[in-house]
Structure 1
Amino acid sequence: MTQSARRNGRPEVDRSEGFGERLLGHLLDRAHEMPPQLIAPLVAEEVHAMGGRDVSILLQDYEQIMLVPLSGQGLTVGAPVPIDGSTAGAAFLRTTPVEQPLADGTRIFLPLLDGSDEVGVLVLTLDRIDDDDRRLLRRLAGLVAEMLVTKNAYTDLFLRTRRREPMSVAAEIQWSLLPPLTMTTPQVAVAGILEPAYSVAGDSLDYALNGDTLHLAVIDAMGHGLNAAVLATVAMGAYRHARRTDVGLAELYAFMDNAVDQQFGPDQFVTAQMMTLDVSTGYLQAVNAGHPAPLLIRDNKVNQTLESPGTLPVGFGGATPLISTQQLLPGDRVLFYTDGLVEEHTRGGEQFGEDRLVEAVERVARATGSVQETVRGLSHALMRERAGITSDDATLFLVEWRGTSPRG
């Protein structure tokens, strides 16, 4: 600490590269055996040590509408902050730090990114800020995000913070099975959203990036409530098991079909889309088992509907499915969705339909940037057009092939 330099009555703090390494190392060392409820206060303590103040940690709620503050000693806790129209929300959506000048310093909003999965926003105030500070804060935010994700496995604290409504048992099951809803790499980006967030039951999605192959699945189990959630759990578990044995799409479909049939018999089924994308070439292969056809979006317009040969829903014992193919161009996006989105009714009582979906997709695509921002904006726009009515689960899953090298 430089004792000779002072600002606003507070001593200046050394935030050089060496200081930053020591601070982050100290934080990491202390966090290893720290109870989950003390992680956020520990972060506040370390931020204060680097000269920061008014520290808040904001987590995204399940509906992706608000950023909700974590409570704890040393943290500034206020009301939830809307993602749309707020400075914290801008940092969250753009995954870029935002600085807000104040009379006595600078308020900094830092996205909390675990890899590319967006956890929330770290907010703090510094008397002054320079490039050393910015570098240190970016690294600090990355470490905080990873600590929150790691400790989340040991506690309900962070999940409870994110909840703004009671959650059904079916939704509890579904959320516990989901992968991170965003992933971004130089070659490909994905983002998904499920609604209604607190009572979703039969819809689910999954993906895995194995080498150059991105595996994707969207499913919709018949029925509602707990039975649909259990059906979806078996189907998704069978999908993951088969995928991890490295079988092709036709064999994967057969394995899922057999698992659902053996467990539930012929009276229950799951519609599904299973896909693989070669992220080095943009070559997409898909099996459609009774699902709405996905939309190909090119230059912010719906270029075509990706129709494919029909296959019976999973659980009906269908024949070996035909696999459809599509060559994507760099920048192409493919939107997968469940029928709850288009079969819902509008304010006037008419079925929402695919034409309205296409109009909304193109309108939102022009006004947004990242896949996460687009899929979130589309979900909320569609919810507004349906006057908030969701009588069935609705899922959106957006995939963008970027066509660049891993080192791009």
Structure 2
Amino acid sequence: MSEFTRDDRARPAHEPGAWPWREAIVDLLARTRIAHPDELAAAVNAAVAALGIVATVYLIDHEQCLLHPVPEAGREVGGPLRVDATVAGRAFMDSAARTDPAGEGGSPLWTPLVDGVERLGVIKIEARDPTLVGSAEFQQQCDMLAALLGHLVSIKARYGPHLARTRRTRRMSVGSELLWRLLPPLTFADARFTVSAILEPCYTAGGDGYDYAVDGSTAFMAICDTTGHGLRAGIGTAVALSAMRTARVDGGDLYATARAVDAAFAEQFTDARFATAVLMELDLRFGRLRYVNAGHHPPVILRDGKPVGRLDGGRRLPLGLDDPQPAVGETVLQPGDRILAYTDGVTEARDTHGELFGEPRLLDLAARHTLAGKSAPETLRRLSHAVLDHLDGPPADDATLLLAEWSVDTAAELLP
């Protein structure tokens, strides 16, 4: 009898709650309670061995170009896979399980690895009985395993460098290390709202930052750019984000949040340090958006892929400069609207001839990917790569993008 069909004989083996999978999940939880990050991959395969499958975990690098296999003691796992040229990459981009239609009988199943909706990579699942790979019920069980493993990867990554090392292709600067430790996950979604961000250069960033939080029926979002470069700028961004979060926990509104950053900069820095920023609050019930623009490029509202407005109200001086005026802008979104915010490193990127990447090009590409049905994180991945492809050499400045969407079904395209 196949290990896939072993159960207590009181239930059909094809039933979604078949006991072998439940036992594997329970075993995995037991094995990983006190496991080190470098023991996670082996724990997964020890837990699923009785199912007749072998799993290889691939994590996306910070550039979101390659999927890197997590090393496993005593096992050869191969090399990285390109996102834009492989079945594994399509599973990652679309958050949907894939098999290779041209493969022979042993074609593996590639299952998205997500924590909530945060894309972490993919899992390659090879079955001893290859006919099972195309089964919808088998894929559902693999999705259940992947959902748990996504949480475990996110949790275990905090306790050692093994998983972080897998995702990096080169050394990270001190400023970037500080920044990545402070930022929330790149993507979050609930039933009515999605927010996604991306930051380049991922290994030498410092002054750019973003933040978001959801509290009841209100979503808070922010994008900021602190003066300077490297660690000095990163410390300013760290102070700005911390002040915003403290004000938010205390129940402060947008005005109070901006003033909290002003006060924190005045207390911590003796130089003329400041940060341009946009702070936004979205009422998730009715789409009312309130915002403060502190000397930043105004975010653009996209409707059906086309620009239909800008957040050019609510003006005040950059954060860190004493500006007590309580100016708050307001607009109302329609279901399906997207808000695209960016820092100047995006539009001011120059090619070999000195030509700017520019906002028109940015909005045109955003429209194309939106109309092509690309999710918010996949749209940003492609936009950031377009900016990097445009550059003549390494980026001279941080380039950050934030894309939010208000819609009743916005999370559906992100769930495996």
1:112 aligns to 2:113 (yes or no):
yes
Give the CA deviation at 1:73: 2.9
Q: Please give the alpha-carbon distance, in whole angstroms, between the structure 1 residues aligned to 2:2 and 2:400.
A: 54
Q: 2:184 aligns with which of 179, 182, 201?
A: 179
1:46 matched to which residue of 2?
47
Indicate how the Cα distance of structure 1 residues 165 and 406 shifts in structure 2: closer, same or farther if over 3 A, else same: closer
Question: After the TM superposition, which residues 223-238 of structure 1 pair with which residues of structure 2 at under 5 Å, given as runs?
Answer: 223-238=228-243
Residue type of the alignment partner of 2:64: Q
Q: Secondary structure at the match of 2:318?
A: coil
1:258 aligns to 2:273 (yes or no):
no
Aligned residue pairs: how many? 397
Q: Please give the alpha-carbon distance, in whole angstroms, between the structure 1 residues aligned to 2:161 and 2:14.
A: 34
Q: Secondary structure at the match of 2:196?
A: strand
Contact 1:279 1:403 in 2 (8 A): no
1:248 aligns to 2:286 (yes or no):
no
Q: Please give the alpha-carbon distance, in whole angstroms, between the structure 2 residues aligned to 1:357 and 1:400.
A: 17
Contact 1:203 1:219 in 2 (8 A): yes
Q: Secondary structure at the match of 1:180?
A: coil
Question: After the TM superposition, which residues 9-408 of structure 1 pair with which residues of structure 2 at under 5 Å, given as runs?
Answer: 17-53=18-54, 55-73=55-73, 75-101=75-101, 102-126=103-127, 127-129=130-132, 130-265=135-270, 267-403=272-408
Q: Please give the alpha-carbon distance, in whole angstroms, between the structure 1 residues aligned to 2:348 and 2:2.
A: 65
Indicate how the Cα distance of structure 1 residues 357 and 405 shifts in structure 2: closer, same or farther if over 3 A, else same: closer
Contact 1:266 1:316 in 2 (8 A): no
Q: Please give the alpha-carbon distance, in whole angstroms, between the structure 2 residues aligned to 1:233 and 1:358.
A: 29
Give the CA deviation at 1:384: 1.4
Contact 2:350 2:390 in 1 (8 A): no
Contact 1:297 1:304 in 2 (8 A): yes
Q: Please give the alpha-carbon distance, in whole angstroms, between the structure 1 residues aligned to 2:394 and 2:149.
A: 37
Q: Please give the alpha-carbon distance, in whole angstroms, between the structure 1 residues aligned to 2:167 and 2:180.
A: 12
Q: Please give the alpha-carbon distance, in whole angstroms, between the structure 1 residues aligned to 2:207 and 2:306.
A: 30
Q: Secondary structure at the match of 2:100?
A: strand
Q: Please give the alpha-carbon distance, in whole angstroms, between the structure 2 residues aligned to 1:15 and 1:392.
A: 55
Moved more, 257-266 or 208-217: 257-266
Q: Please give the alpha-carbon distance, in whole angstroms, between the structure 1 residues aligned to 2:79 and 2:367.
A: 34
Contact 1:282 1:403 in 2 (8 A): no
Moved more, 72-81 or 27-36: 72-81
Where do 4+ consecutive residues of structure 1 move more than 6 Å? none
Q: Please give the alpha-carbon distance, in whole angstroms, between the structure 1 residues aligned to 2:84 and 2:279.
A: 33
Moved more, 215-224 or 308-317: 308-317
Residue type of the alignment partner of 1:195: E
Residue type of the alignment partner of 2:345: G
- Taking only aligned residues, the RMSD between alpha carbons, in angstroms, comes to 2.0
- Per-residue Cα deviation, 1:326-365 (whole angstroms, up to 9, x for no partner): 1111110000111111223233213333223223322333
Q: Please give the alpha-carbon distance, in whole angstroms, between the structure 1 residues aligned to 2:301 and 2:247.
A: 27
Residue type of the alignment partner of 1:23: A
Q: Please give the alpha-carbon distance, in whole angstroms, between the structure 1 residues aligned to 2:398 and 2:100.
A: 39
**Structure 2, gaps ≥5 residues long:** 6-12
Q: Secondary structure at the match of 2:180?
A: helix
Q: Secondary structure at the match of 1:124?
A: strand
- Per-residue Cα deviation, 1:162-219 (whole angstroms, up to 9, x for no partner): 0101111001100111101011222011111000010000001111111111111111
- Per-residue Cα deviation, 1:362-384 (whole angstroms, up to 9, x for no partner): 23333451101111111111221
The TM-score, its normalising length taken from structure 2, stands at 0.91
Residue type of the alignment partner of 1:155: G
Contact 1:107 1:124 in 2 (8 A): yes
**Structure 1, gaps ≥5 residues long:** 6-13
Q: Please give the alpha-carbon distance, in whole angstroms, between the structure 1 residues aligned to 2:411 and 2:345.
A: 36
Q: Secondary structure at the match of 1:63?
A: coil
Contact 1:59 1:69 in 2 (8 A): yes
Q: Secondary structure at the match of 2:240?
A: helix
The TM-score, its normalising length taken from structure 1, stands at 0.92
Moved more, 170-179 or 297-306: 297-306
Indicate how the Cα distance of structure 1 residues 143 and 294 shifts in structure 2: closer, same or farther if over 3 A, else same: same
Q: Please give the alpha-carbon distance, in whole angstroms, between the structure 2 residues aligned to 1:404 and 1:122.
A: 26
Q: Please give the alpha-carbon distance, in whole angstroms, between the structure 2 residues aligned to 1:15 and 1:33.
A: 33
Give the CA deviation at 1:77: 1.6
1:10 matched to which residue of 2?
none
Identity value in percent: 36
